[in-house]
Structure 1
Amino acid sequence: MDKISLITFIVVLGTMMAAIDSTIVILALPTMIQCLHTDLLTLIWVILIYLLTTAVLTTQLGRLGDRLGRGRIYNLGFIIFTAGSALCGASPTATFLVSSRAIQAVGASMLQANSGAIIADNYPPNRRGKAYGYTSIGWNVGAILGIILGGILTTFVGWRYIFYINVPIGVIAVILGLREIKDKLTLNSKFDIGGVILLASSLILVTYGAAEIAGIGITSTNVVLILSGILLLIPFYFVEKKQQFPLIDFKVFTNRVLTSSLLASFLQSAGYLATAFILIMYLQGIRGLTPFNASLLLVPGYVLASMISPITGRLSDKIGARIPATIGIGLMMIAAFIYAHLTLTTPYYYIILTSIVGGLGSSFFYPANNSAIMSNAPRNIYGGVSGIMRTLANIGILISYVIAISIASLTIPRYVAFEVFLGTYSLGELSGKFLLGIHSAFYASIVILSIALVLSAIRGKEERSYLN
């Protein structure tokens, strides 16, 4: 294996670890609640603190990678993620577990913020689509392993091992990363402390408010938090305009392809990434499946996406991102539309086939869109742009989660919706009402995806060459 292939393998490994952790925790929540003697509203923060932390930190850590070295920050991220995983597994209480997940998320933020930049550093623009296709394999394989291992480890070994499994993988990745990933570019610049404080404060307020809405519903306090966070972006913009080395250089948004691609990434996350969450609620609460069996029905979509992603990524290298990415969003909209017409007796093969349509859509969208973003980013701020991409995607995931649980639970009590997701509540006579809420959630997904489709279609065709 040559050096570039080995670097790609390390990045794919980091992506796979993050994906495993995104799905493996969900299936273990009921067991963790019992073992740690806590309640759902406390332990749901095991998921939310991870989303909140990554949403807040990825932009800053991407820019830090530009300044101190992307490889250095990426490798440090592996170390912190591995240590955080060990702490999660050893957690004696729910509070300790939530705190350890925050540490784990700091490491994940370093990995996410700099992985796209490392790929861009080592591949010319006309070969990046294929490389990002391999990272998509890492995500989809990780999601599959998370579903399978989450059920197996929780059932036969114990929930702590869903975190311990990251430790040996992380140790191997750290050794390989320190040896192979070297910094090609660092910036001799001042750190934008004012920008970091303002942006971090804004994101914390917005994401915390949104997370609270998912947990307890809309309150005046949550609305004030979100509005305050949004208003903080105004002074942030003016502070950044005066900085010689800003955290976010707003000049990059004059590039139509880059701007449209970033917004498409955000809206795709907000519109589609809660699909699996809603489906598992349907399969468990209405159809009576166990969490493990419900998740297995979604595996074929991930498998197909893993197989197709390098091919679609290579296609985007040849013809640009606009057509493949737009087709991908269109396929996701079709899948969401089919899901919006689920009934109390829909055949399971119907759900499997629809998951394949959605998986095909993701295999078209992710490699093409990620490649378009990094191919149109200035080389000296690859890390910053990669961080912006991940920050927008992470906020989109959180918004998707909030929309899904809020709309799906309009027809039943919120605590019932949570218990349905955990597989600890059978709806019975409430099934018909809950199904209407699920339909509404998918229609909301379609509306958001339609905006992403337009942005993807009008981004323009970028020119790719060996020079950036």
Structure 2
Amino acid sequence: MAKEMGTRDTRSGLALLVIVIGVLITAVDTTIVVLALPEIQRSLHVGLASIIWVIIGYLLVITLLATQLGRLGDMFGRVRMYELGFFVFIVGSLLCALAWNEASIIGFRLLQGVGGALVAANSGAVIADTFPPEQRGRAYGYNAIGWNIGAVLGVLLGGLIVTYFSWRWIFWINVPIGLVALAIAFKVLHDHGEREKRRLDYLGTVTLGLGLFGILWGLTKLTSESLNASIIAFVVAGLLLLGVFAFVEVQQNEPMLNLSLFRVPTMSPTLLAALFQGLASFSVLYLLLMYLQGVRGYTPLHASLLLLPGYVVGGVVGPIGGRLADRYGAVWPATIGLVVQMLALVIYAQLGTGSAIWILSGAYVIGAIGSGGFYPANNAAVMKAAPAGSFGIASGMLRTFANIGMVFSFAAAIVVASGTISKNQAFAIFVGTSKLSAHIGTEFTAGIHDAFYLSVVLMAIAAVFSATNLKQHLSSANANPPNFLPKTVTPTE
């Protein structure tokens, strides 16, 4: 009996290791590529207006597919889909390392995004299938740690690889790690959940994807061109398609995004807080790296080391923020976390060409403390507001709104920051293909300040949305919210 229990514990430990590695390597690839953009652009002769899609394309695919691919797990087996995601991610990484031109690197990053979406959509469900209820909290905790470690490694490894090796190694390193983890997964992970017949929302996915693409295409063109009829047409077409998407979703029995959840009083502000926080925060890493490398002349490795303390502190604070949410309710930690992030953004907006560099590192730690308060608390707020039987749907909504914010954050920051000097020159600086004179450095820093002030405004909007839940929180003896979901809808992921 003892031997059998030991074998079971070993198998569970290996299963958790595989899941954490999957989350870790997908987290690495959300940050590591930022540091390699200049080298990728120079090596593959990628157009300045196209290099941004190496990052945006990856995020856009994950945003569109995560909720839908979770349904495939319900239909065909969560472990099977998780392992397929791992395999696709490894193949995508291999092909990215072998990319030979602009189209190939962007196309292979999209493929990598499909693998990342499969992993992200099914990892939580695999944990639920693999571990008994009394062990799931610990397993999810390790999963969160894996994501934080991945973000740290992405920055640190990106600096090391770009400084001392070829940019191709940022993709090569995923291959052996992924293959070992995949081999273990085949051995220790097994599907236990029942299959469910689900319906994919193809029309919703297509209209949302085209709508977001139209707006993003217009914004990215605006970084290298003046406003013209073509850019306006793309943005207007994108907005119209988002309207079509909203109309389509209310007609579906199993929509991609269940917009009826917005009728739950505390759900709307919580999801919108996630959207605006993503808009405000995702571009910060990119802007700071451009300041450190473009304005201050630091190497990618030195720049990444200056930001490392923030990631370490964020990994420590996150679990504390979760416990505070459990003890005092989710609203206070989430709202205070957003205000703390605003403080960090205000500090960034004061950085000049000769500012003491410890100020930037200190502000990044402050921002990490705010993030550690916001993320677990806001997640808890969404789960508390969700009607009974819709936790999977609500979780998918939260991921999608946060990811949409992240995708647009990148494009909006570059558009604003490029307003103080010529667009071609600004974009060349952004991707590291132009050196800064003292005069241009001062003007470019002013543009970065504008981008940070935009983030302050967006973060303030997120804080207002989060704070609107205070009234319900203070008056709550909140009963379970009413179930506004259509009767035909079944829980997802």
Task: Name the TM-score, length of structure 1 as normaliser.
Answer: 0.88
Partner of 1:55 in structure 2? 63
Name 2:151's counterpart in structure 1: 143
Query: In the TM superposition, what is the alpha-carbon distance from 1:310 to its structure 2 partner?
Result: 1.8
Larger radius of gyration: 2
CA shift at 1:136, angstroms? 4.1
Distance in 1 between residues matched to 2:360 and 2:137, nearest whole Å: 30
Which has the larger displacement, 37-46 or 445-454?
A: 37-46
The more displaced of 253-262 and 215-224 is: 215-224
In structure 1, distance between residues paired with 2:323 and 2:332 = 13
Query: Please, which of 25, 45, 65 is the counterpart of residue 53 of structure 2?
Result: 45
Q: Out of 336, 340, 357, which is 2:366 matched to? A: 357
Q: Distance in 2 between matches of 1:151 and 1:249?
A: 41
Residues 258, 48 of structure 1: CA spacing in aligned structure 2 closer, same or farther, 3 A cutoff?
same
Whether 2:451 is the aligned partner of 1:458: answer no
Letter in 2 for 1:265: A
* Residues 1:311 and 2:328 are matched in the alignment: no
Distance 1:23 1:377 in 2: 31
What's the CA shift for 1:445?
0.6
Structure 1 match to 2:451? 441
Give the aligned partner of residue 278 of structure 2.
269
Is the contact between residue 116 and residue 374 of structure 1 (CA under 8 Å) also seen in structure 2? no
- The aligned residue for residue 421 of structure 1 is 430
Contact 1:127-1:314 at 8 Å conserved across structures: no
Q: Deviations over 1:1-41 (max 9, x none)?
A: 57776665544433321221122222222323333344433
Alignment partner of 2:371: what SS? helix
Q: Is the Cα–Cα contact under 8 Å of residues 74 and 197 in structure 2 kept in the other structure? A: no
**Identity across matched positions, percent:** 41
1:256 counterpart SS class: coil
More moved, 197-206 vs 45-54: 197-206
Paired amino acid for 1:44: I
1:233 maps onto 2:233 in alignment? no
Relative distance call for 1:111 and 1:220 in structure 2 (3 A) is farther
Q: Evaluate the alpha carbon distance shift between residue 73 and residue 437 of structure 1 in structure 2; reply closer, same or farther with a 3 A threshold.
A: same
Q: What residue is the counterpart of 1:31 in the other structure?
A: 39
Q: What residue is the counterpart of 1:104 in the other structure?
A: 112
The CA deviation at 1:305 is 0.6
Gaps of 5+ in 2: 1-8, 481-490
Match of 1:91 among 86, 92, 99: 99
Q: CA offset at residue 397 of structure 1? A: 1.4
2:414 pairs, out of 405, 408, 413, with: 405
Instruction: Pick the aligned partner of 1:165 from 160, 163, 173.
Output: 173
Over aligned residue pairs, what C-alpha RMSD do you find?
3.2
Q: Which amino acid aligns with 1:98?
A: I
Alpha-carbon distance in 1 for matches of 2:31, 2:268: 30
* Contact 1:133 1:313 (8 Å CA) reproduced: no
- Residues 151-183 of structure 1 show CA distances to partners (whole Å, capped at 9, x for unaligned) of 222333322111011112222333444533635
Aligned-partner Cα distance in 2 for 1:30–1:240 = 40
Q: Determine the structure 2 residue equivalent to 1:370.
A: 379
Cα distance in 1 for residues equivalent to 2:246 and 2:322: 34
2:248 maps to 1:246: no
Relative to structure 1, the CA distance from residue 409 to residue 146 in structure 2 (aligned partners, 3 Å threshold; closer, same or farther) is same
CA drift of 1:251 comes to: 2.8
Q: Work out the number of aligned pairs and report it.
A: 466
Q: Which residue identity lines up with residue 457 of structure 1 in the other structure? A: A
* 1:277-322 deviation digits (Å, cap 9, x = unpaired): 1112222222222232222211110010112212222222333321
* 1:189 and 2:198 matched: yes
